[in-house]
Chains A and B, each alone.
Chain A
Amino acid sequence: MSDKPKVAFYWCASCGGCEETVVDLNEDILKVVDAVDIVLWPVALDFKRRDIEAMADGEIAVSFINGAVRLSEQEEWVELLRDKSNLVVAFGSCAHLGGIPGLGNVANRELIFQRKYVAVPTADNPDEVFPSVTVTVDGAETERPYNLELPSFYDTVKTLDQTIDVDYYLPGCPPPSNLVWDAVTAILEGKLPEKGAVLAPNRTLCETCLRNETKPEELTISEFKRVATSTPDPEECFLAQGYICMGPATRSGCGERCINGNMPCRGCFGPPDGVADQGTKILSAVASIIDSTDREEIERIIGAIADPLGTFYRFSLPGSLLGRTRMGG
């Protein structure tokens, strides 16, 4: 048995993009593999839960866990990894603040199941059968019926740190490879910041944005535009053009990937330190610069923002102050 530090990668409610960013380390991944033993990586390697269960507590040096927590199975897995790991890093937007799956918090299980298994035009489910935790399978192969147990689906999506104790956060959808590399080297060299730190610069995106120079002295918006229905100028500040850009309320460190693709920031890095709620911060910033002092005109201008909750909390609803929408009073 080698005495290299053991590293685990795990995924919960996520899309697989975070796994991609590990692969995007390219040849640097060989240096990682040289330095560590990967003991769990469901996307690439075949390890089982019993392999992890057989380990001693704290035996894994660091677990990188991506994805939000939506199922009982995910909760069990991350609790197991917490016991077995010295460090846990919440990897990517979903583990950090809930991410895109976290937008499920505008509904609950009943609404999601109704939509998914009954209401969508492609559903053919006249008996309204829904997934349930125990299912009896007729057992054509085993020649007798048997019970199958499935994970339970929660009403509310949780972030990783609402489920287990988390040591560090790597933000982004997905986190850029250079930040992953910096984090891995910091861990290997033992040069880590204080527990609870987000391993990315503590500045807003606007501070590092190349378009900042084009921002006028007094920024105002008289009409909100959408990238779906008009094309932004490739050099001018998005807010100055009337596109909602999350830059003022979002942490920098992403390499301005969206901005360089002529898309306004959507906020995947979450807010900088000290901001309790990314959504209300950007709401405040965007609304304050509406170019009107007339109540009716203001109402008309904000009418163009069809979905403020989904726009301002696109990646951070479960990790926000309210966490989810209120249902059933």
Chain B
Amino acid sequence: MISQPVTELFNLNGRHFLVTGASSGIGQAVTWLFDRLGARLTLVDLNRAGLEETVARCARNDHQLFEFDLRRVEEIDTLVKDAVAGAGFLSGFVHCAGIQTVMPARVLTVAAWREIFAVNTESGLAVAKCFSSKKVRADNGGSIVFISSAMALAGSPGATAYSMSKSALHGVARSLALEFAASRIRVNCIAPGFVKTAMFERVERLWNDSQRAAVEAQHPLGFGTPNDIANAAAFLCADTGRWITGTAMVVDGGYLAQ
């Protein structure tokens, strides 16, 4: 069989993907890369202005924008139907939306952890669930990627709710992978280490210089960039990842290796 080099296979021409959290950080980097690779996109975020900024730097001018609060989990079904009505069947979905609040156990509240769980986990599951319908998914299969976190696999003080929400995505991916395999929908997670994004900067502000240096030293390759995560998402969504499902790909500069 004649196969193409991997750079040519990173090709998303003619495919429609939905991206959550597209107004900043990893979601924005995924949008820009998938746009360059030829995909048509439905971009979902709470922040309308941020979405406008994201699409302003895209090559295509036919991406759909949805200003939407992912805490409204019950309405996601309608959101996805609207996305398909506007731009056709979906070949996949990258769940980048996430919120993180540093909360030690003594200040952790039920309302706070439910909010984190709703945005980070339940909304991703709600979108993924729609792929069980032939009215949503493209005939030739697809790829779902949940952006989780190294915190799904390692602990950190104050990150209890965040870790819970991200490790739950790993469980979702494994079981959905088995359910969706027959329709050639693959489901995987990408678990990033510390990536330089606006969310990262909010956490970073809580550190002094020596704390920052200590965290960076825990990453043998230093801190990452949103584009490092976007490249892994493209690998999993393009045909290059066609035999990969139910896995968690760690992209963390070596953070979890030591």
Q: Bound pair: A and B?
A: no
Interface residues, chain B, CB within 8 Å of chain A? none
Question: Which residues from chain A sit less than 8 Å from chain B, CB to CB?
Answer: none
